[in-house]
Amino acid sequence: MIIEEISAVIARELGIRRAQVEAAIRLLDDGNTVPFISRYRKEATGELDEEQIRTVEERLAYLRNLVKRQNEILTKIEEQGKLTPELRQSIEKAEKLTELEDLYLPYKQKKRTRAQIAREKGLEPLASAMLLQVNTSDTAEIAAASYMNEEKNVLTAAEALAGAMDIIAETIAEDAGLRQRLREHLWQTAFLSTELNASAEESQTFLMYDNYKEPVRTLPSHRTLAINRGEKKGCLKVRLETDHEANIERLYRHVYRQPSIFAEALRLAAADGYKRLLLPAMEREIRTQLTENAEKQAIHVFGANLKQLLLQAPLAGHTVMGLDPGYRTGCKMAIVDATGRVLDHDVLYITMSEDARQRSAKKALALIKKYQVTLISIGNGTASYETEAFTAQLIKENQLAIHYLITNEAGASVYSASKLAKEEMPDFDVTVRGAVSIARRVQDPLAELVKIDPQAIGVGQYQHDVNQKELAGTLDATIESSVNHVGVDLNTASPALLKHISGINATIAKNIVAYRNEHGRFQNRRELMNVSRLGETAFTQCAGFLRIAGGTMPLDNTPVHPESYRLAEKILTRLNSDTETLTDKKDLEFLQAKLKLVNPIHLAEELKAGLPTIRDILDALARPGRDPREDLPAPLTRQTIVKLSDIKPGMLMRGTVRNVTDFGVFVDIGIKTAGLIHISELASRRVKHPLDVVSVSDILTVIVLSVDEKRGRIALSLKQVPKEEHA
């Protein structure tokens, strides 16, 4: 492959036009971010979406690295004087690094091998003669005797024959075609087998993998990662199972030409090349590939779950009481107003004496009435069940017109002790910060969750067992995508949120907040140019994703990019309107009615503008200040508690999806224990992956299949729910 072919290869893989790929590559090379390209350069890329552009970015890096490696290999082989036209063609045609390294293997500089030592002893001609399989003597030993050389320490015919066999073994093991055929064969037919390598007590978690085996080609990613973990802990012994004798016969048949005195020596050389060189390399490669595939899948699932969690519908406008449950130290409580400002905080002792519980109930009731609390957010950690029972009883006994919900508090403790939390809430201790975070998470999940290390949020599988650099890259991209999809309020966003906006780094984010603190609210987007380190390039990237409500330019409260303001104003003029219409509710209703009658195709032709941009501007004008999360269902809130003993098979329940894995879905149905919908119970049809059916934060109606109180397990089904109950 040459560098000019990369765009064609990517276009073929993605099923898109080469011109689209070339445009995306140019924009990426010019330093544009993926969210900016997908949102504001649709005409250039032919409306490639964000996922396609990220794939172009990923494949571009891989293929450029491949071309670089090809050139390095061609140079090294040419320096050895061994580069034939056929070999050059094979190297230049390679589209995978594995294929490339197979071709390079015979020419690669390596430690002195047995074959190299044999070559130094002058035994390569004997190996060549053996491979030609022409009978020139009565026996192989007699043929080998002529290669005895006392000076080179080849003292016997047997030593000469053994050295030649070492050369043949390495030649067979390094044959690129053979390696590829064996690799494909093993992927299709081999098994990965495991057995316990420690006592049953030490290996409790991995008991299912004792005397276990599964075909390599069907091994799911979560089992690959579980097996790897067991092996790393010393609990499992893992090996690749295959028909070794049949594989050796394949290699032998590859070098066999005709009956000869060297037949047995060739068979032994093939067996040695397979067992000593080829099989260990193939086993390492297959295990590595299984791991890479499993990690890629786990990272994908984590990213998909995180995105859904970040894009949960916010419960805006509520005064929230956040409860961080606990036994010994009590339940930490914080009340925040609709903007997230802390109004009050205290500790409730609800798991101790009845007297302490009663005092806590009076205190909580007084605070609810004083601050007109409209929602209670309860963390799902230790003592969550007791805290929920306390809250439900408080609501019932006092006939309060408020609801509560259970909030995933994963990462709250990590955040509350972080430097960022100390900077945000210097006047509060760690325990109060945790309760504040639990309260704010329901008001604006995105704004609060970006402050936490994504790995601490806990919506994946085996996240600590995968490549941490790749995981971090995917999670950063997920957060970047989510934040830019929603957009942020320039006058309220924290540095933690701003730094994920296209074109803004941590330093610029801090500078924006510092400017805001010194000069007051931003009145328009152009004012950003006054912020230190934020130049024209950064402004172009970030401006469209930053919103200003109540500023001097109404279009600043829409996703319309400043570069398209003149176009937006022309559209408004044609509708006998102007930008001020966007700030008046009554005028806006008239405008929305007019916009429904507009033909975007005719308008694009009339204004000589790109159709995708026209469509986006029309959507933005129809709903200024819109949060795309508003279209999502609101989180499920409750007023009464459900006990595990209350749940019986056959019951229909409403719940919220908390986590999606390869094997199923965990659903919060309002009790301490999350229920599991196995992948086989998600739909009547075959489901390839649970993410094809549900996402984190989805609200489902499920049916209870079984309850195991002793083990704390609840099996649920989605496919067995009557159709009329799904609504």
DSSP class per residue in 440-468: HHHH-HHHHHTTS-GGGS--SSSTTSS-H
Assigned domain for 237 exists: no
pLDDT of residue 38: 98
Rounded CA-CA distance 650/461 in Å is: 29
- In this prediction, residues 682-711 reach a mean pLDDT of 91
Instruction: Please check the confidence at residue 285 and state whether its pLDDT lies above 90.
Output: yes
Run of H or E residues at 204: none
Q: Are 10 and 62 in contact (CB under 8 A)?
A: no
Q: How confident is the model at residue 286 (pLDDT cuts 50, 70, 90)?
A: very high
Q: Are 416 and 451 in contact (CB under 8 A)?
A: no
Strands 331-336 and 403-407: unpaired
Could you tell me if 447 and 529 lie in one domain? Answer: no
Q: How confident is the model at residue 459 (pLDDT cuts 50, 70, 90)?
A: confident
Q: Which residue has the higher pLDDT, 634 or 281?
A: 281
pTM here is 0.86
Instruction: Please check the confidence at residue 636 and state whether its pLDDT lies above 80.
Output: no
Type of residue found at 501? I
The two three-digit tokens of residue 695, written as one number: 């996402």
pLDDT of residue 673: 79
Could you tell me if 512 and 608 lie in one domain? Answer: yes
Could you tell me if 523 and 618 lie in one domain? Answer: yes
Tens digit of each residue's pLDDT (9 = 90 or more) over 371-424: 999 999 999 888 888 899 899 999 999 999 999 998 888 888 888 999 999 989
Residue 721: which CATH number?
2.40.50.140
Q: How confident is the model at residue 468 (pLDDT cuts 50, 70, 90)?
A: confident
Instruction: Please check the confidence at residue 198 and state whether its pLDDT lies above 60.
Output: yes
Type of residue found at 154? V
Could you tell me if 529 and 597 lie in one domain? Answer: yes
pLDDT of residue 281: 95
Could you tell me if 340 and 433 lie in one domain? Answer: yes
- In this prediction, residues 10-38 reach a mean pLDDT of 97
pLDDT of residue 566: 97
How distant, in Å, are the alpha carbons of 28, 108, 473 from that of 296?
23, 30, 12
- In this prediction, residues 659-678 reach a mean pLDDT of 88
Could you tell me if 652 and 512 lie in one domain? Answer: no
Q: Are 665 and 657 in contact (CB under 8 A)?
A: yes
- In this prediction, residues 671-677 reach a mean pLDDT of 85
Assigned domain for 709 exists: yes
Q: Which residue has the higher pLDDT, 670 or 623?
A: 623
Tens digit of each residue's pLDDT (9 = 90 or more) over 510-552: 999 999 999 999 999 999 999 999 999 999 999 999 999 999 9
Tens digit of each residue's pLDDT (9 = 90 or more) over 592-601: 999 999 999 9
Listed residue (28, 223, 1, 26) closest to 103, CA to CA: 1
- In this prediction, residues 460-474 reach a mean pLDDT of 83
Residue 377: which CATH number?
3.30.420.140
551 contact partners, CB below 8 Å, separation of at least 6: 521, 522, 523, 524, 557
Q: Are 480 and 33 in contact (CB under 8 A)?
A: yes
Q: How confident is the model at residue 44 (pLDDT cuts 50, 70, 90)?
A: very high
Q: Are 319 and 337 in contact (CB under 8 A)?
A: yes
Number of helices (H), then strands (E), in the chain: 30, 15
Residue with tokens 């004792």: 210
Give strand pairing partners of 467. Answer: none
Residue 100: which CATH number?
1.10.10.650
Could you tell me if 512 and 620 lie in one domain? Answer: yes
Q: Are 694 and 719 in contact (CB under 8 A)?
A: no
The two three-digit tokens of residue 357, written as one number: 């519980």
Quick one: 601 exposed, middle or buried, by C-beta within 10 A (0-12, 13-18, 19+)? exposed
Type of residue found at 493? A
The winner for highest mean pLDDT among 105-114, 299-308, 495-504 is 495-504
Q: Are 484 and 500 in contact (CB under 8 A)?
A: yes
244 contact partners, CB below 8 Å, separation of at least 6: 274, 275, 279
Rounded CA-CA distance 624/548 in Å is: 11
Rounded CA-CA distance 247/244 in Å is: 5
Q: How confident is the model at residue 472 (pLDDT cuts 50, 70, 90)?
A: confident
- Residues listed for the chain: 727
Domain housing 705: 644-725
Residue 625: which CATH number?
1.10.150.310
pLDDT of residue 612: 97
Could you tell me if 627 and 657 lie in one domain? Answer: no
Rounded CA-CA distance 389/640 in Å is: 8
* CA 516-512-319 angle, 5° bins: 60
Assigned domain for 716 exists: yes
Q: Are 508 and 538 in contact (CB under 8 A)?
A: yes
Residue with tokens 């571009």: 60
Q: How confident is the model at residue 498 (pLDDT cuts 50, 70, 90)?
A: very high
Assigned domain for 185 exists: no
Q: Tell me the torsion sign for CA atoms 650, 653, 658, 661.
A: positive
Could you tell me if 335 and 418 lie in one domain? Answer: yes
Q: What proportions of the chain, in percent to the nearest 5, are helix, strand and coil?
A: 55, 10, 35
Domain boundary among 578, 605, 631: 631
Assigned domain for 701 exists: yes
Domain boundary among 107, 128, 152: 107
Instruction: Please check the confidence at residue 218 and state whether its pLDDT lies above 80.
Output: yes
Tens digit of each residue's pLDDT (9 = 90 or more) over 614-630: 999 999 999 998 888 88
Q: Are 355 and 384 in contact (CB under 8 A)?
A: no
pLDDT of residue 408: 84
Residue with tokens 């080998």: 144
Q: How far is CA 628 from the centre of its chain?
A: 22
Could you tell me if 521 and 668 lie in one domain? Answer: no
Could you tell me if 568 and 512 lie in one domain? Answer: yes
Listed residue (323, 374, 315) closest to 351, CA to CA: 323
pLDDT of residue 697: 87
Could you tell me if 407 and 540 lie in one domain? Answer: no
Assigned domain for 448 exists: yes
Tens digit of each residue's pLDDT (9 = 90 or more) over 145-181: 999 999 999 999 999 999 999 999 999 999 999 999 9
Phi, psi torsion values for 708, nearest 5 degrees: -115, 90
Domain boundary among 107, 136, 156: 107
Assigned domain for 211 exists: no
Number of independent structural domains in the chain: 4
pLDDT of residue 726: 54
pLDDT of residue 724: 63
- Alpha-helix residue ranges (DSSP H) falling in 233-353: 244-255, 263-272, 279-310
Task: State the chain's mean pLDDT as an integer.
Answer: 93
Assigned domain for 437 exists: yes
- pLDDT over 90 percentage in the chain: 79
Instruction: Please tell me the least confidently modeled range out of 201-205, 290-294, 334-338, 681-685.
Output: 201-205
For 662-693, give the secondary structure using H, E and C: CCEEEEECCCCCCEEEEHHHCCCCCCCCHHHC
20 contact partners, CB below 8 Å, separation of at least 6: 11, 45, 46, 48
Rounded CA-CA distance 96/285 in Å is: 14
Q: How confident is the model at residue 456 (pLDDT cuts 50, 70, 90)?
A: confident
